[in-house]
Each structure stands twice: as structure tokens, then as C-alpha cells.
Amino acid sequence: MDFEESSSWAGRWRLTKADGFVEWLSARGLSLDEAEAEVDALEKHTTLNISLADDVVSFMWISAVRWKLRKVKQVREYLLDGTTPLVENVRGQLISTWASIEGSTLVHRVDGFLGAETHLRDVSDGRLVQQMSLDVPTGAASDSCTLIWRRV
């Protein structure tokens, strides 16, 4: 598959806005303080690098550790076939994620803490818009969230 033409979301990004993300994280097991600290760390101390090579999309989060002269790097790679899951142990629960590209949108389907989720990433007005939502909404504020990233 040739995804290079539709990979406008590839690049280096910084979080600028997080609507509903604290509630999203809290519903998935983080305390309110932990969720707020996560958003703060993403906004102030983290860069997200998204790259695409050989039908694999790579996410690399590079975060400065507060009060220390070092950085922490987390990497996740997804095969873009929509059928091969990345399985991770997140706080004692196995989470499976499948990735694909639909048009210009990078899509992740997640078997998450609260059931099936869809995460969409696309570029609008030069910003990376990341929308995450439960596939079967419950009506709670934590059913969806939107993150806006700027290119750096």
C-alpha cells in the first residue's frame, strides 16, 4: 500500500488544546490529579513525532522529565493494515489497537477500558486534530475528547 500521499499528519507536534481529555483519562482509571498532570506534561513538556515508513506508522513521544536533565522516549508502532493489533498491558489490562488510513485520516480502532473506541487524526488548518470517542456512547462527558496539536 502507498500511504505517503495521505500522511499530512506525519511530522513533529506539540499539544495546544485538550478538550475533555481530563475526563477521558479519569474514566479510564486515572485520578483527577493524575489526569491533570498528564495533560500538563503533554502541553508543556512533550513532543509527538509521527512518521510513516513501509506501511508502519510510528509514534514517538519525547518528554522532558521535570527537575532533571533527561528525556523519556516512548515509541509505539502500528502496521497500517487494519487487522494486525498492537497489544499492550495498560495498568493491568490488555488493550488492542488496530491502525489504518481512510482517505487522509489516520484511524486507530481500540479495544479499550470502556469498550470499543475510534481515534481519528487529520490535519485541518495546519493543526493536527485528534478526536477520540467511544463507538457506543453512554452520554457521559468522558465519551469523547479532542486534542489539537501544532506543528513544530
Q: Domain limits of the chain?
A: 4-151
Q: What stretches of the chain adopt beta strand conformation (E)?
A: 11-19, 46-53, 56-64, 71-79, 86-90, 93-102, 105-112, 115-124, 127-134, 144-151
Please tell me the predicted confidence (pLDDT) of residue 9.
96
Q: What is the pTM of this model?
A: 0.92
83-93 mean pLDDT: 94
Question: pLDDT band at 1, cuts 50/70/90?
Answer: very low
Mean pLDDT of 85-105: 95
* Residues 110-141 pLDDT 10s: 999 999 999 999 999 999 999 999 999 999 99
State the CATH class of domain 4-151.
mainly beta
Rounded distance, CA 10 to CA 52, Å? 7
Grid coordinates in use for 93?
489490562
> What share of the chain has pLDDT > 70, as a percent?
95
pLDDT digits (tens, 9 = 90+) for 54-80: 999 999 999 987 777 778 899 999 999
What is residue 65's DSSP assignment? Answer: P
Residue 99 and residue 35: Cα distance in Å, rounded? Answer: 25
